């Protein structure tokens, strides 16, 4: 297979950095990361590959068309992996404008920059070019039965400003294929977890609150069900889709690991009893820190992915069970205190490795 030049938007984020690390460590392809470096972008998540000659970085907002045109002209990518997005549901409820700007306007701007770059390519490069849009299962809304699964043909029914903005971006990507012929692929994934996850999300929040002796907030009664996908499994899937997937197709990527939120919290607490037995002062059991809080508006009850298509057609399936993945995740946070403390105190954002004041 010919070596590829891959442009990854949002490559300093949680999933994006896992994709970049995978490409540099497991392939011979080169990667240029384009990232605005919002609060969720952290170049320290790429420190392990930052000195590799096949890696490069540009601090660029995907809404900045002139900057994107410059990057395309300079880097000449064979593949776009579009992961740049605002992704936190609670933040979208409090401030939806940023989600519309980045997820909708930003995707439109990137599509147009990609189209302008792609159209004059020679026939072979034009045919082999790919625009891979990475999305979420939240565009489908929620499932009310206990056995139903999201498939690639499930109708869209987003519930939050976040999922509505991602649904909008999915539609734009498919329209650019239908109208302009831009060779696009869409993937929709279930809830990711693993190393380098920003601490506002459920799993890292529970781990770090527990070791600090702080309350472990659980929405409602914690009965919401999610399908948990280990981020490194997801990174492998995304690379396989962009290199082997069929233009115009959608692939759902799931972990085959449905758990209620309260079950996830219990699993973390039980692992910490084993892996971090020296508890904070005043804490007898980690489970005692669980605190039920008012549910958020429009909270979907159940997500579950049917990942049969990507298994049948591309041969991908997750390597991690929830039990193995959550153990790896808890251990990683316990062993990488420097990384998460710099996120918590904001110092990771203040330095930006010399890119800003």
Can 337 be counted among the known catalytic residues?
no
Q: Which of 78, 86, 137, 232 is labelled catalytic?
A: 137
User: What gap in Å lies between CA 231 and CA 18, rounded to an integer?
Assistant: 7
Can 138 be counted among the known catalytic residues?
yes
- When computed from its CA atoms, the radius of gyration of the chain, rounded to whole angstroms, is 20
User: 154 near 215, Cβ under 8 Å?
Assistant: no
User: 54 near 24, Cβ under 8 Å?
Assistant: yes
Q: Which of 108, 117, 162, 193 is labelled catalytic?
A: 162
φ and ψ of 211, to 5 deg: -70, -15
Closest CA to 185 of 107, 96, 234, 246: 246
42: which 2 tokens? 């952290």
User: What gap in Å lies between CA 209 and CA 186, rounded to an integer?
Assistant: 35
Can 162 be counted among the known catalytic residues?
yes
Contacts (Cβ under 8 Å, ≥6 apart) of 238: 19, 81, 132, 134, 187, 253
Q: Find the length of the chain.
A: 357
DSSP state of 354: G
User: What gap in Å lies between CA 16 and CA 21, rounded to an integer?
Assistant: 9
66: which 2 tokens? 């002139």
81: which 2 tokens? 């992996």
Q: Which of 138, 232, 233, 320 is labelled catalytic?
A: 138
> Could you list the active site residues?
137-138, 162
């Amino acid at each position: 297979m010919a070596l590829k030049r891959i442009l990854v938007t949002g490559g300093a984020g949680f999933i994006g950095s896992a994709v970049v690390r995978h490409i540099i460590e497991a392939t011979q392809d080169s990667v240029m990361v384009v990232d605005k470096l919002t609060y969720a972008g952290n170049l320290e998540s790429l420190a392990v590959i930052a000195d590799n000659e096949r890696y490069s970085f540009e601090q660029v907002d995907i809404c900045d068309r002139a900057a994107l045109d410059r990057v395309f002209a300079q880097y000449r990518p064979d593949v776009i992996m579009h992961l740049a997005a605002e992704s936190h549901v609670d933040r979208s409820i409090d401030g939806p404008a940023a989600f519309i700007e980045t997820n909708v306007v930003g995707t439109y701007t990137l599509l147009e920059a990609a189209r302008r770059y792609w159209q004059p390519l020679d026939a072979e490069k034009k045919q082999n070019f790919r625009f891979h849009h990475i999305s979420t299962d939240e565009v489908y809304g929620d499932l009310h039965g206990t056995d139903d699964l999201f498939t690639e043909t499930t109708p869209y029914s987003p519930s939050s400003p976040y999922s509505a903005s991602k649904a909008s971006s999915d539609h734009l990507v498919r329209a650019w294929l239908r109208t302009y012929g831009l060779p696009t692929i869409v993937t929709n994934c279930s809830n990711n977890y693993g190393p380098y996850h920003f601490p506002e999300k459920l799993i890292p929040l529970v781990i770090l609150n527990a070791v600090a002796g702080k309350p472990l907030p659980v929405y409602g009664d914690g009965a919401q069900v999610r399908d948990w996908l280990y981020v490194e499994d997801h990174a492998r899937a995304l690379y396989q889709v962009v290199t082997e997937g069929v233009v115009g197709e959608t692939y759902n990527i799931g972990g085959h690991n449905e758990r209620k939120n309260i079950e996830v919290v219990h699993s973390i607490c039980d692992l910490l009893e084993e892996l971090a037995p020296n508890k904070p002062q005043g804490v007898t059991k980690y489970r005692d820190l669980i605190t039920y809080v008012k549910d958020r508006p429009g909270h979907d009850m159940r997500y579950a992915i049917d990942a049969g298509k990507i298994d049948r057609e591309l041969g991908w399936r997750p390597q991690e069970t929830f039990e193995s993945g959550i153990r790896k995740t808890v251990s990683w946070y316990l062993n990488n205190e420097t990384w998460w403390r710099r996120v918590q105190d904001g110092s990771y954002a203040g330095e930006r490795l010399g890119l800003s004041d």
